[in-house]
Structure 1
Amino acid sequence: MEVRARAPGKIILAGEHAVVHGSAAVAASIALYTSVSLRLPSSPQDNDDTVTLNLLDVGLEFSWPIERIKEILPDSANSIASLPATCGEETIKRILTVLEEFNIPEAKIGIASGVVAFLWLYTSILGNKAAKVIVSSELPLGSGLGSSAAFCVSLSGAFLALSDSVKVDFDHEGWVSFGEKDQQLANKWAFEGEKIIHGKPSGIDNTVSTFGNLIKFKSGAITCIKSNMTLKMLITNTKVGRNTKALVAGVSERKKRHVDAMTSVFAAVEFISNEFASIIQSTLVSDDDDDFIKKEERIQELMEMNQGLLQCMGVSHVSIETVLQTTRKYQLTSKLTGAGGGGCVLTLLPALLSAKVIDKVIEELEQCGFQCLIAEIGGNGLEFRFDGRS
């Protein structure tokens, strides 16, 4: 039996950093996916008693005998897939000792926590079964586009699809989504994987990746939003690494020094996030292009204002400013997404923008050493299919 699952990355459309201080923020899924292929033996004769994980994009493959897995995860046979469980620190340490046997290159050592998450999710959901798992992704790692969440969500989806805990139609052709209850289960398992990788994740990334479309979040509360607009973004990866923890701390320090000013900045971001959500949820009043264009223009203004406020918070970067200046020459609006200090920048691509202009912008940005990706936002979340059907 073989199943394939895919889960999208995410972007923050409005509200980053201010959300830490109580303001609302809006996030969306993007049509760039992490995909997982899971194959279980079709008969006992095919069982080679190993679990193999192939991470195509980083060129690493891991393989463990089932008996070795039983040694490091002795309780895995008693786990219940319908009851998501947290991986304790001692268990993480035991799994990490097994990974030492593979001599992961120093440059790829960050992959280790993802492999720990894989083993925990796999054994917790499917137990001690032999399998081959292949993972590939369209998402650049460590760029703030939710690559780890998409990894955990797609793994959870693939494992659950072949478990006894969800109801699936094995004869369905093409991509299909879980029902809401099973989506919730996949999301909870993915969150457990994210906890292994990040320690204390917000749950935002895995929720967007699981359910797709958009969410608004404020003070820990997450609300799913349905978009009535098809928006396309140019996502520019500056390839500049950033220290998210330091950037968040820097904003907090600035607030301590300028309490009233920063409180006003956060309040302004709150209005921008709420208006962004309102616009994208609203239905078009007519079928002509004018109404859609007006909405795009309002979104561009909100992005521009949000970027200005992020600059006030001190989280921009020379690489981000380069993207802003380049896209501004083509009358396009951009803003950083995520922590800032590098990372990725969003540029709204209006529906009537010509392909020639897009090509010119991308060419100029790539000459600066940046990576450019184009994706629609607010699409489907976790999906799966069987037997390699397309």
Structure 2
Amino acid sequence: MSYIAVSAPGKCILFGEHAVVYGQPAVAVALDQRITVKIQVSQTGTWLLDGNRLNMNRNPHICALIEKLWPAEMGAPPLSIHIESSIPRSSGLGSSAALSVAFAGALRLARGRWITKHGSIEKRHWAEGFGSHITTTNPYDSSHGFCVDLPIGELFHVSGAMAVDDDENAILAHGVEAAAQNGRASPIDSSTCSHGEIVVISDIIESELTHFYERKLTTPEGNIIWQIHGVELSDQPDEVYLVIGNTGINAPTGKQVAKVARLIKQHPEKIEVIETIGKIARRGIKALMRGDFDAVGRTMSENQLMLKSIGMSSPELDALIKAATPSSLGAKLTGAGGGGCMVALTRNPQQTCDAIELAGGRTLISKLGSHGFNIETSEISTIWMKT
């Protein structure tokens, strides 16, 4: 039986953890480690996940995307889903965002897209879909995303790669991430897992970067607006690698973010550390753009000092960072801190891995900025379309 297979990368934060919450820029890179999602029509008449009945309550990201893109009330048939992943779960490396991006793209491939002009894939000719420039559909609720009220007989259908859009995958993934996190989620994970390479999030449009789009989200604390950008490197960094070191300790992001908020409330002068992290991130972006990876490494190490000064590191992270430093250009925690992972930029990846593993960590190697969402199957047949 034919199936559709797609993949999306994990991610790590290079600069700007925690400071991004206070309007400072943050930089994320896509990793070589990926999640692959395969879908096909279920032969049992029920939704399946890796051969077992799909528990919608235990898989909120999958459930939310099914509601958005595969409505049973419109005749969409149950599917069998198979997931393979080399991204460690609950490690701050974007496994849930990668899953959401991949599954959103797989469902779009499986249904194609209705358009209002024959042969056009421009968003202004979409009859259905979600995106940062589309105001008639909402990716953050349970609506199905039909942009125009026209009979099917007046529309045209496109399938395959022409139907898929990185912005749509990213915004849908952000929507389900926000729902799963009680209305709070930065779009940096979903955008990096969808677009790949290097992504910058800021509260302003950064004139030196490639501006992708704006994201808006209503959170319990109010409305937040982010500007999402891509970084174009002057040269491909073939000689440098990222080595991820995993402490194996789970430190929930929400608790770490709350810890920083309490610290700043009790010690308002600590906001200067947040502002310094923002300045460091901007220096790191400029170093990336000119291909000065020695400067990128130094900037990472400076960022680590600031994060440690506000209590975001841990003895386990410190031990892995210390072990990686002699063979690296720079090293720091990545993500929320308190546990989870660290990242080192190095020209000697195996030497750095060996040092981290001797210190008790588990390691992964990645190049600096992998490709984003990818279609893995060469022949794609539409499984279902709204009629």
TM-score between the two structures when normalised by the length of structure 1: 0.72
- Are the aligned partners of 2:112 and 2:159 in contact in 1 as well (CA < 8 Å)? no
Higher mean displacement: 340-349 or 328-337? 328-337
- Are the aligned partners of 1:213 and 1:380 in contact in 2 as well (CA < 8 Å)? yes
Q: Does 1:237 align with 2:246?
A: yes
Query: CA distance change for structure 1 residues 33 and 21 in 2, over 3 Å: closer, same or farther?
Result: same
Q: State the Cα deviation string for residues 184-205 of structure 1 (Å, max 9, x = none).
A: 2222222233234323211221
Aligned partner of 1:385 in structure 2 is: 376
Partners of 1:203 and 1:348 in 2: CA distance: 24
Partners of 2:252 and 2:326 in 1: CA distance: 30
* 1:123 to partner: Cα distance: 4.7
Q: State how 1:314-329 maps to structure 2 within 5 Å.
A: 314-329=311-326
- Are the aligned partners of 2:301 and 2:330 in contact in 1 as well (CA < 8 Å)? yes
Query: CA distance change for structure 1 residues 360 and 298 in 2, over 3 Å: closer, same or farther?
Result: closer
Extract structure 1 runs of 4+ deviating beyond 4 A: 166-170
Q: Does 1:186 align with 2:186?
A: no
Q: State the Cα deviation string for residues 312-337 of structure 1 (Å, max 9, x = none).
A: 11111001110122122435521001
Q: Does 1:276 align with 2:284?
A: yes
Query: CA distance change for structure 1 residues 48 and 244 in 2, over 3 Å: closer, same or farther?
Result: closer
Aligned partner of 2:60 in structure 1 is: 116
* 1:159 to partner: Cα distance: 0.9
Partners of 2:113 and 2:328 in 1: CA distance: 51
* 1:121 to partner: Cα distance: 1.6
Aligned partner of 1:303 in structure 2 is: 300
Q: Does 1:49 align with 2:39?
A: no
Aligned partner of 1:137 in structure 2 is: 85
Partners of 2:299 and 2:273 in 1: CA distance: 14
Aligned partner of 1:287 in structure 2 is: none
Letter of the 2:101 counterpart? V
Partners of 2:323 and 2:187 in 1: CA distance: 34
Q: State the Cα deviation string for residues 292-323 of structure 1 (Å, max 9, x = none).
A: 5xx12111110111111111111110011101
- Relative contact order (alpha carbons < 8 A, sep ≥ 6): 1 or 2 greater? 1
- Are the aligned partners of 1:235 and 1:372 in contact in 2 as well (CA < 8 Å)? yes
Letter of the 2:41 counterpart? L
Partners of 2:327 and 2:197 in 1: CA distance: 28
Partners of 2:271 and 2:178 in 1: CA distance: 31
The alignment of Structure 1 onto Structure 2 pairs a total of residues equal to: 307
Partners of 2:253 and 2:285 in 1: CA distance: 25
Question: Structure 2: 5+ residue runs without aligned partners?
Answer: 115-120, 122-157, 204-225, 381-387
Partners of 1:123 and 1:385 in 2: CA distance: 24
- Are the aligned partners of 1:53 and 1:134 in contact in 2 as well (CA < 8 Å)? yes
- Are the aligned partners of 1:227 and 1:378 in contact in 2 as well (CA < 8 Å)? no
- Are the aligned partners of 1:4 and 1:388 in contact in 2 as well (CA < 8 Å)? no
Aligned partner of 2:218 in structure 1 is: none
Letter of the 2:343 counterpart? L
Question: Structure 1: 5+ residue runs without aligned partners?
Answer: 42-46, 55-60, 70-94, 97-111, 171-176, 283-291
Q: What is the Cα-based RMSD across aligned positions, in Å? A: 2.5
Aligned partner of 2:213 in structure 1 is: none
Q: Does 1:330 align with 2:330?
A: no
Higher mean displacement: 326-335 or 197-206? 326-335
1:223 to 229, 235, 253: 229
Tell me the SS of whatever aligns to 1:253.
helix
- Are the aligned partners of 1:52 and 1:133 in contact in 2 as well (CA < 8 Å)? yes
- Are the aligned partners of 1:150 and 1:206 in contact in 2 as well (CA < 8 Å)? yes
TM-score between the two structures when normalised by the length of structure 2: 0.73
Partners of 1:188 and 1:50 in 2: CA distance: 28
Q: State the Cα deviation string for residues 255-311 of structure 1 (Å, max 9, x = none).
A: 233323x232222212211121122223xxxxxxxxx5xx12111110111111111
Query: CA distance change for structure 1 residues 329 and 187 in 2, over 3 Å: closer, same or farther?
Result: closer
1:125 to 53, 69, 73: 69
- Are the aligned partners of 1:304 and 1:335 in contact in 2 as well (CA < 8 Å)? yes
Aligned partner of 1:62 in structure 2 is: 52
* 1:48 to partner: Cα distance: 3.6
Partners of 1:178 and 1:326 in 2: CA distance: 47
Query: CA distance change for structure 1 residues 178 and 388 in 2, over 3 Å: closer, same or farther?
Result: closer
* 1:388 to partner: Cα distance: 8.0
Partners of 1:178 and 1:241 in 2: CA distance: 40
2:194 to 192, 210, 216: 210
Aligned partner of 1:249 in structure 2 is: 258
Partners of 1:125 and 1:363 in 2: CA distance: 45
Partners of 1:9 and 1:27 in 2: CA distance: 10
Letter of the 1:4 counterpart? A
Tell me the SS of whatever aligns to 1:140.
coil
* 1:178 to partner: Cα distance: 6.1
- Are the aligned partners of 1:269 and 1:309 in contact in 2 as well (CA < 8 Å)? yes
Aligned partner of 2:14 in structure 1 is: 13
Aligned partner of 1:82 in structure 2 is: none
1:160 to 84, 108, 114: 108
* 1:371 to partner: Cα distance: 1.0
- Are the aligned partners of 1:316 and 1:336 in contact in 2 as well (CA < 8 Å)? yes
* 1:208 to partner: Cα distance: 0.8
Aligned partner of 1:4 in structure 2 is: 5
Partners of 1:315 and 1:227 in 2: CA distance: 30
Aligned partner of 1:369 in structure 2 is: 360
- Are the aligned partners of 2:11 and 2:192 in contact in 1 as well (CA < 8 Å)? yes
Tell me the SS of whatever aligns to 1:50.
coil
